[in-house]
Chains A and B, each alone.
Chain A
């Protein structure tokens, strides 16, 4: 299973090692975000303020362009809702898992980014009693990487000698790895076909900017339509 070799370690160490790809991705994208805030002429504290309280990558980038364009607060609210609809889908599939961790629930729900969702749903968790701390560590570490990156970005005009162009591919690679693991654990392959059809047609028909909510909504509907078929395959 995923990260089998890490199982002997403490929950914190497993979380630390599991989040290394997110560390790479978030610190670089966080730095890019910090630079963007600085270039937009906004005060430096806007970057950590947003990264602490919003903590949603794509939305934060969009927000800066909305601020620059002097968009009304009502429009900003609608845009946020559309962009983040996918979180409802994430939450629906995590209801059962989060029951184990009542005390930290509020923070875990707040920190449910794409990457955190991916790690929490794919890694085979350690024992039940340490599961809630493991969830907490993964969420908090990812949040910390994101905030640190944003602050660093506002202070670094440039990154100095080391050229980091392309390091954000770490997040793409993370999703590929998580998808392969999901593919292995999932006996039915129809969901992957559905996801592929919906995301590619979303990209072609709707365009890169708003394909994500459309592709996820479409996939959820198709999953329901093929529910019987998927479940009979499962029991065969």
Chain B
């Protein structure tokens, strides 16, 4: 692919990405948002967060060693830390540190 075409490609992707982010705001600038928008504002954020959590685990290979155990362990630690301390930095740094240790030491791959 030549460099001109790549640069065109970059700007096409940029324009479409911005457009998908802009459409709802543009659409409801001319008319009043209907009642249903309130419903979506309340219930879409929790749905999106839950979907993204599953999405983050999409590449885990459950059938091969270490069977997703490092990921699941770190997910549980993150959740437990957060339920216990309710401090996002403790939960996120704790979970991430444990995950890094587990996959860099390959501890589960060695055992299983």
Say whether B92 contacts A170, CB under 8 Å. Answer: yes
A174 at interface by CB-CB < 8 Å: yes
What secondary structure prevails in chain B residues at the interface with A?
helix
Q: Complex Cα distance A205/B41, Å? A: 28
Say whether A2 contacts B99, CB under 8 Å. Answer: no
B1-33 residues with Cβ-Cβ distance < 8 A to A are 1, 3, 5-14, 16-18, 20-25, 28, 33
Say whether B92 contacts A110, CB under 8 Å. Answer: no
A173-191 residues with Cβ-Cβ distance < 8 A to B are 173-180, 182-183, 186, 188, 191
Measured between beta carbons, the chain A residues less than 8 angstroms from B96 are: 24, 166-167, 169-170, 173
Given contacts A76-B9, A170-B96, A176-B78, A182 and B46 within 8 Å (CB-CB): yes
A73 at interface by CB-CB < 8 Å: yes
Q: A1 to chain B: closest CB distance in Å?
A: 9
Measured between beta carbons, the chain A residues less than 8 angstroms from B10 are: 46, 49-50, 53-54, 63
Q: Which of A21, A77, A169, A223 contacts B100 (CB 8 A)?
A: A169
Q: Which of B17, B24, B75 contacts A80 (CB 8 A)?
A: B17
Q: Complex Cα distance A46/B4, Å? A: 11
Q: Complex Cα distance A139/B19, Å? A: 17
Q: Per-position contact with A for B48-60: 1 when CB-CB < 8 Å, else 0? A: 1111111111110
A138 at interface by CB-CB < 8 Å: no
Chain A residues touching B, range:
35 or more
* Residue on B nearest A187 in the bound complex, by CB: B42
Measured between beta carbons, the chain B residues less than 8 angstroms from A196 are: 50, 54
Given contacts A42-B6, A59-B13, A114-B52, A105 and B46 within 8 Å (CB-CB): no
Q: Which of A67, A70, A203 contacts B54 (CB 8 A)?
A: A203
Q: Per-position contact with B for A24-64: 1 when CB-CB < 8 Å, else 0? A: 10000000000000000011001001100111100100010
* Residue on B nearest A52 in the bound complex, by CB: B14
Could you list 21 examples of A-B contacts with CB < 8 Å? A49-B7, A53-B10, A67-B1, A77-B16, A81-B20, A85-B20, A88-B20, A109-B25, A122-B49, A172-B56, A172-B75, A172-B78, A176-B95, A182-B45, A198-B51, A203-B54, A211-B55, A216-B47, A216-B51, A223-B47, A231-B39
Q: Lowest 5 A-B CB distances belong to which pairs?
A: A91-B24, A195-B50, A199-B54, A208-B58, A121-B45
Enumerate chain A interface residues (CB-CB to B < 8 A): 2-3, 5, 17-18, 20-21, 24, 42-43, 46, 49-50, 53-56, 59, 63, 66-68, 70, 73, 76-77, 80-81, 84-98, 105, 109-110, 112, 114, 117-118, 121-122, 163-167, 169-180, 182-183, 186, 188, 191-192, 194-196, 198-200, 203, 208, 211-212, 215-216, 219-220, 223-224, 227, 230-231
